[in-house]
Amino acid sequence: MSLLAPERPITNPFLPYLATVKGVTQLTPDIKLFNLELDDPEVREGFDYRPGQFAFVSAFGVGEAPFGLVSLPHWKAGVEFALRRVGTVTRALHDLEPGAKVGVRGPYGNYFPLEDYRGKNILIIGGGIGMAPLRPVIRTILERRPDYGDLTIINGARSPQDLVFADEFDSWATAPRTRLELTVDRGDDNWSGQVALIPSVVQELKPSPANAVAILCGPPIMIKFTLARLKELCFADAQIVTTLEAKMKCGMGRCMRCNIGDKFVCADGPVFTFEQISHLLEPF
Amino acid sequence: MSQLISRSDLTAWINALLAEYTVIAPTKVDSLALYQPVKRADDIFMDFGITALSPKEWLFPPTETLFTITTQDGTMKLEAPPLDGKNLIFAIRPCDARGFRLLDKVFLAPPADTHYAQRRQNTTLIGLACSKALPQCFCTSVGGAPNDASDVDVLLTEVEEGYLVNIVTEKGQAAVAQAKLIEKDVTPPSPPNLKPVSTEGIVEATLRAYNDDYWERLADRCTHCNVCAFVCPACYCFDVRDHINQGKTERLRCWDSCQAPGFTRVAGGYTPRPTKGARLRQRFGHKLLYYPQQYGDLLCVGCGRCIASCPVNIDIREVMEDLQKLGVKSVSARA
Ligand code: SF4
Ligand code: SF4
């Protein structure tokens, strides 16, 4: 009966923290980076999260939706989300200016086990907006560079304008034992880099599976073909990690929208190895 | 010795309860029996068999305000509505009460759902044992019984002299404080007999039949009307959405159904469960496989409402039987 009679009033798990839009940066024609400051100083101080976790962002009057956190808490410089203008909530958020009020509810979900990856070579593959949740992974590794082996980043997008976090590329590429491969499906007059699909870049590069972890994130079609190339290179399913997306309404394993068979993207994920994914009952 | 209340004292007791509680009881609304708040004992329709909707809505309403959003002098405020009223559900069937046990596991697990938890805490359940079974009833096959007192605060059983009163919990004790009970030696009637449905190995059978084309065949006639989810005392899929009405912004939670085509559609249009078969597999998969794996019980109390309400006669008892047969077939085919 203790669950029914809480000693202190329990807090409503649907109540978001109020936050203020501090900065909006146009990353690509349809993706904006939002920097949010949680209004309550105590909440701001205690808001802890890890790369891979997500939170719900509210556009009050329109609704809320889950998005990956793309900043790191110890930066103490606000909570960041990269949002592609694609649905009703993201459209409403894209219309907001600095100073606007939004809601943040979270963090939820598991995270990339970066502690366990220490000493390993890391291969990061991101396609389009899929690169966004990988940014805090890259930044964590760069901040603790000696803890990790070689870092290879493959970042691809439809066109040069669609590459996210372009202003960070220099600092990534010049870090020790770090290689950044940028690629686009279609170049333009200013593009001197690769024009190739991500799976071909992987095939060309032939990363070694020895003591390595591959983290991939992107559209399903990219995942499918990249996964095939990695397997040809003898990467085992357990060495390949991704983060899944699903429609969600609660983040607490209750609304029954994000379950894939008996696993919940919100509570068991969103980070899964392909070994775990191979046991999922339904397609994702 | 049993405790007994006469029919006239029952009326007096209910009228006394009305001073302290919002009494929600079976009433007749046109041709339907529904649990509704009543103003006096006479409003109660005791010969209801089973109500069209379960009383689930009184703990988990079809639409409820999670919080309101107001801005005053440039300051935004989020406020949850107070839910401190005392409710009493009168004449709840043992199967419907068991439905709350199943919802408890979901909504009271940390972080507890404040809305459900507060209503649950403030609601007293006065059960009414079933004296007859309907053709669609199968509670005894899924862990319940027509006279099961385990999920109510008080269980009433109709006898010739009135009602036997079995006080189960402290909440129940408080509710009967004003009832005129008499001690009498009455043998409780034996509960009605129900036709058993086999649930043996159903979790494993559902898993074995997971990729069978059975689901598409079964779903072929489903109209995705969602009725099965809305009448069910154990279903709890929900939607969370914002609503602006006359300048008032609210975040609402509403019942939803996994049978709705857009239920899993993400922004941009991708739908992980695009077919009726995939969605019907979600319904039965949740009831017979995922929930049991997570919480240990089948997500069904055998009330039979979905069976009686489905316009195309999709019957969970037949589904369980089919799954068991399919499981055996695929096992022997492999051997
Ligand atoms: S009640 Fe029957 S027709 Fe309607 S959604 Fe449920 S299974 Fe389909
Ligand atoms: S019989 Fe149907 S409506 Fe009743 S609890 Fe089971 S699934 Fe729900």
pLDDT digits (tens, 9 = 90+) for B111-122: 999 999 999 999
State how far the Cα of A139 lies from the Cα of A141, in Å rounded to an integer. Answer: 5
Helices (H), B195-315: 202-208, 214-219, 227-231, 276-285, 291-295, 305-309
* Contact criterion met (CB < 8 Å) for B76 and A18: yes
Asked, as a colleague might, if the bond just before A113 is cis with ω within 30 of 0, I would say no
B96 CA distance to ligand 2 middle (Å): 10
B105 contacts on A by Cβ (under 8 Å): none
Q: Examine the domain organization and report whether A69 and A26 are in the same domain.
A: yes
Average pLDDT (B242-264) is 89
Average pLDDT, chain B: 92
Residue B187 Cα, gap to closest chain A Cα (Å): 32
Q: Examine the domain organization and report whether A228 and A245 are in the same domain.
A: yes
What pLDDT, on a 0 to 100 scale, did the predictor assign at position A9?
46
Q: Give yes or no for a contact between B42 and B61, defined as CB atoms under 8 angstroms apart.
A: no
At residue A10 the predicted structure's pLDDT band, cuts being 50, 70 and 90, is low
Interface probe with B: pick from A129, A221, A248, A262, most Cβ of B within 10 Å: A262
In this structure, how many other beta carbons lie within 10 angstroms of the beta carbon of residue A114?
A: 21
- pLDDT of A252 higher than 60: yes
**Which of the listed residues A85, A108, A131 is the one where a domain comes to its end?**
A108
Name the residue of B53, B136, B220, B224 whose CB sits within 8 Å of the most ligand 1 atoms, as the mutation to test its pocket: B224
What tens digit of pLDDT does each residue of A135-189 get?
999 999 999 999 999 999 999 999 999 999 999 999 999 999 999 999 999 999 9
Ligand nearest to the CA of B51: 2
State how far the Cα of A123 lies from the Cα of A153, in Å rounded to an integer. Answer: 6
> Closest chain A residue to B170 measured between Cα atoms?
A1
State how far the Cα of B116 lies from the Cα of B134, in Å rounded to an integer. Answer: 30
Please report, as a single letter, which amino acid is at residue A213.
Answer: V
Interface probe with B: pick from A94, A257, A259, A284, most Cβ of B within 10 Å: A257
Q: Examine the domain organization and report whether A88 and A138 are in the same domain.
A: no
Average pLDDT (B259-268) is 83
Q: Give yes or no for a contact between B145 and B196, defined as CB atoms under 8 angstroms apart.
A: no
Q: Examine the domain organization and report whether A219 and A254 are in the same domain.
A: yes
Average pLDDT (B238-258) is 92
- pLDDT of A229 higher than 90: yes
What pLDDT, on a 0 to 100 scale, did the predictor assign at position B329?
56
- In this structure, is residue A226 part of a structural domain? yes
Q: Examine the domain organization and report whether A52 and A90 are in the same domain.
A: yes
* Contact criterion met (CB < 8 Å) for B240 and A255: yes
What tens digit of pLDDT does each residue of B107-161 get?
999 899 999 999 999 999 999 999 999 999 999 999 999 999 999 999 999 999 9
Whether B104 has its CB under 8 Å from any CB of chain A: the answer is yes
Lookup result for tokens 């983290």: A215
State how far the Cα of A248 lies from the Cα of A256, in Å rounded to an integer. Answer: 8
Q: Examine the domain organization and report whether A137 and A270 are in the same domain.
A: yes
Closest Cα to residue A184, out of A223, A242, A127, A222? A127
Closest Cα to residue A154, out of A185, A123, A117? A123
What pLDDT, on a 0 to 100 scale, did the predictor assign at position A5?
41
Range of A253's domain?
114-280
Residues of chain A above pLDDT 90, percent: 82
- pLDDT of A3 higher than 70: no
Q: Which H or E run contains B37? A: strand B32-37
Q: Give yes or no for a contact between B182 and B230, defined as CB atoms under 8 angstroms apart.
A: no
More confident residue, B13 or B75: B13
* Contact criterion met (CB < 8 Å) for B238 and A65: no
Assign residue A102 the CATH number of its domain: 2.40.30.10
Whether B286 has its CB under 8 Å from any CB of chain A: the answer is yes
**Cα B16 to chain centroid, rounded:** 27
Closest Cα to residue B115, out of A90, A138, A15? A15
Q: Examine the domain organization and report whether A67 and A188 are in the same domain.
A: no
- pLDDT of B162 higher than 90: yes
What pLDDT, on a 0 to 100 scale, did the predictor assign at position B247?
79
What pLDDT, on a 0 to 100 scale, did the predictor assign at position A281?
77
Q: Examine the domain organization and report whether A232 and A264 are in the same domain.
A: yes
What does chain A come to in residues?
A: 284
Average pLDDT (A77-87) is 95
- In this structure, is residue A10 part of a structural domain? no
Average pLDDT (B183-209) is 93
Q: Give yes or no for a contact between A46 and A125, defined as CB atoms under 8 angstroms apart.
A: no
Residues 6+ apart with CB under 8 A from A78: A22, A23, A35, A36, A37, A71
Q: Examine the domain organization and report whether A137 and A268 are in the same domain.
A: yes
Our separate counts of H helices and E strands in chain B read: 11, 12
State how far the Cα of A33 lies from the Cα of A46, in Å rounded to an integer. Answer: 22
Residue window 211-270, chain B: list those with CB within 8 Å of chain A.
236-242, 244, 249, 251, 253, 256, 258, 263-268, 270
In the Cβ-directed half-sphere of B105, how many Cα atoms lie within 13 Å? 15
> Closest chain A residue to B263 measured between Cα atoms?
A257
In the Cβ-directed half-sphere of B269, how many Cα atoms lie within 13 Å? 0
Q: Give yes or no for a contact between A184 and A162, defined as CB atoms under 8 angstroms apart.
A: yes
Interface probe with A: pick from B264, B271, B280, B286, most Cβ of A within 10 Å: B264
Name the residue of B226, B275, B310, B319 whose CB sits within 8 Å of the most ligand 1 atoms, as the mutation to test its pocket: B310
Q: Examine the domain organization and report whether A260 and A127 are in the same domain.
A: yes
- pLDDT of B335 higher than 70: no
At residue B328 the predicted structure's pLDDT band, cuts being 50, 70 and 90, is low
Average pLDDT (B12-29) is 96
B256 contacts on A by Cβ (under 8 Å): 255
**Which range, of A5-14, A106-115, A163-172, A251-260, averages the lowest pLDDT?**
A5-14
What tens digit of pLDDT does each residue of A92-120 get?
999 999 999 999 999 999 999 999 999 99
* Contact criterion met (CB < 8 Å) for A87 and B267: yes
Average pLDDT (B28-51) is 94
A256 CA distance to ligand 1 middle (Å): 18
Average pLDDT, chain A: 92
**Which of the listed residues A77, A108, A139 is the one where a domain comes to its end?**
A108
Inter-axis angle of helices B316-334 and B276-285, to 10 degrees?
100
Comparing CB atoms, the residue among A60, A86, A252 nearest residue B111 is A252
What pLDDT, on a 0 to 100 scale, did the predictor assign at position A260?
87
Q: Examine the domain organization and report whether A23 and A135 are in the same domain.
A: no
What pLDDT, on a 0 to 100 scale, did the predictor assign at position B74?
80
- pLDDT of B330 higher than 80: no
What pLDDT, on a 0 to 100 scale, did the predictor assign at position A1?
33
Assign residue A209 the CATH number of its domain: 3.40.50.80
**Which of the listed residues A108, A126, A147 is the one where a domain comes to its end?**
A108
- In this structure, is residue A147 part of a structural domain? yes
Q: Examine the domain organization and report whether A99 and A142 are in the same domain.
A: no
Domain count within chain A: 2
